[in-house]
Amino acid sequence: MSKQNNNKRREFLKTLLAGGASGALGSMGQLALMSEASATTPAFSDYKAMVCVFLYGGNDSFNMFIPTGSNALTGYSPYAQSRGGLAVANRSLNIANGNFSSGVGNPYYSNGLASEAYLKGHYPMAASKGFELGVNGVMPELAQLINSNKASVVSNIGNLVEPVSKAQIQAETANLPLFLFAHNHQQRALQTGQGNNLNDVGWAGRIADHWSGVNNGSPMGLNISYAGSDRMLIGNTSTPLVVSPGNPPQIYDMKKALYDTHTDRRALFQAMHGVQGNSATGLTSFDTSKTYVAANPFERLFGNTSRKSMSVFDLLNDSWGSHTLNYFRKDSYGNDLFSVPSAADLGFENPIKGQLITQLEAVAKMIDMGVRDSFASGGYNRQIFMVSLGGFDTHSDQASKHPLLLRELSLGLSKFQAAMEDLGHANKVSTFTMSDFGRTLGNNGDGTDHAWGANHIVMGGDGHNQLGNLRGGQMLGQLPDFRLDGSDDYNDKGRIIPSTAQDQLNASLCRWFGVDDALMPTVFPNLANFGQTPGDINSAYLGRLFKS
């Protein structure tokens, strides 16, 4: 290939994978297109997975975790004064013996109304875990996960380029993320891992670029999305597998069949994309000398992607149907683990949608297949998954909409953690939430508006807090000043300035995952800005996140 063509090819890949064209490739399987990473892939002998739960729309996480203390700045009183009619009551709720039942038996139940259950009260963590936050009443499973040391809270975290103060913002000297408070821009910044660069590829995609052989050449690659063609998993030379929950996709009338039903079509398809294929009938030999072979690198890219998509679909279909899972645990209502509860179970007037639950069920199966090397790669070592739950842009009718979302999040996380424990993989998996941004502490009469800092969840481990595993049952970060126009308010609406960067949390998870300090500046270019001394990456990690 000429130098000119090679340069055009690289520029085309960057444009294609970083832009909207990735969605088109996603419909064909979005697999790794080529291996151009110059870094040496680490030689792992174990299996680990990270699961990102992206809450689209901007989750009101200050009503997910409620301050319960008496401090004049960080306690319940300033929170309630700022929240007004959307303040969750400072009432302690209990889960008798760690269990609860459906309908009126739920500890949050209030007249069968989600809006009343949402504001009824919380499960306090101060006595059992030592931090002054309570978990919203509609999330009893999350409270159980924290109490059993299987989940932790990261308080006041958000998208940052470097630490900033209100004084810097007022003096217009702060180095702020681009397009603060805008959905699409903040989603992109969080997924690129760079608050000041919206045009780069994703931070997990950059890991995949450098770890091209991490799963021994399996066409499954490193990154798998059940949330669509989101930027986080897309690299310069690698792309994720984008699939939907349930049975794997197939190319119509070219499924790999036991009785060679579609062999002729498959042979012709392969030949058209530069690979010799033999027909079933023997009457015709479909080889590349008799079909068009593209010289143009862009056309070859399309052909390679189409051909590899068939390989991945074959691999998935061969493995998925024969890999059965049997969970002995039930969900919170005594139903099958990944069932979606009814409105009657919930004690609400409306049911939840269940989209997160079905995605996490698929991820659980993919993880078990990866651990057991069902893809026959000779050793499957690392996977990064992305799932999503949308609808968090609660400008209006928040008291009715938000509890359904929080209920599904609590159930989904609990079900997934139970599955990992049933399968014996709890210490191999770390799950974490991200969202566009937090929401204003002040309400607009019926809801909340776009803001900045938020609370997030990290989940994993078996609850024993053993060496190298997630330390559950703690609060990381620090509670902000909850007063409107207070010391942590961007203006006077309760747009809280984050004190911890999302990059710090994500980098800490990636360090556990196996990303070393040498690669970390490539994955998170701004990470060193958060060190205790300039350029000190090591002190930017959240040191208490994992047991060391």
* Confidence check: pLDDT of 174 > 60: yes
32 or 458, which is more confident: 458
CA-based nearest residue to 479, from 454, 514, 447, 449: 454
Q: How far is 320 from 219, CA to CA, in rounded Å?
A: 15
CA distance 546 to 316: 33
Q: C-alpha 483: how far from its chain's center?
A: 31
C-beta neighbour count of 536 within 10 angstroms: 12
Q: pLDDT tens digits for 481-528?
A: 999 999 999 999 999 999 999 999 999 999 999 999 999 999 999 999
Task: List b or e across 76-93, with b for residues whose CB sees 16 or more CB atoms inside 10 angstroms.
Answer: bbbbbebbeebbbebeeb
pLDDT class of 314 with cuts at 50, 70, 90: confident
Question: What distance, in Å, lies between the first and last C-alpha atoms of the chain?
Answer: 50
Q: Averaged over 82-107, what is the pLDDT?
A: 87
* 400 has a pLDDT exceeding 50: yes
Q: pTM above 0.75? A: yes
Q: Residue 497 gets which letter from DSSP?
A: P
Q: 165: exposed, middle or buried (C-beta count within 10 Å: 0-12, 13-18, 19+)? A: middle
Quote the CA–CA distance of 418 and 399 in Å, as a whole number.
Answer: 29
Instruction: List, in sequence order, the alpha helices (H) in 76-138.
Output: 76-83, 114-120, 126-129
What is the predicted pLDDT for the residue at 247?
A: 81
Whether the Cβ atoms of residue 205 and residue 30 lie closer than 8 Å to each other? no
pLDDT of residue 293: 59
Q: Give residue-wise pLDDT tens across range 189-222.
A: 999 999 999 999 999 999 999 998 898 878 788 9
pLDDT band at residue 1 using 50, 70 and 90 as cut-offs:
very low
Q: Is the per-residue pLDDT at 317 higher than 70?
A: yes
